[in-house]
Structure 1
Amino acid sequence: MATIISAPLSRPTTKREATLFAEFSAFWRAFVAKAFHPYRPELHYMRGPGPACRAKQMALSPAVRSMLADIRTAKTRKPSRSA
Structure 2
Amino acid sequence: MATIISAPLARPVIKGQATPFAEFRAFWRAFFVKAFNPYRPELHYMRGPGPACRAKQMALSPAVRSMLADIRSAKAHKPSRPA
TM-score range, shorter chain: under 0.3
| Structure possessing the higher radius of gyration over alpha carbons | 1
Does 1 or 2 have the higher relative contact order (CA < 8 Å, sep 6+)?
A: 2
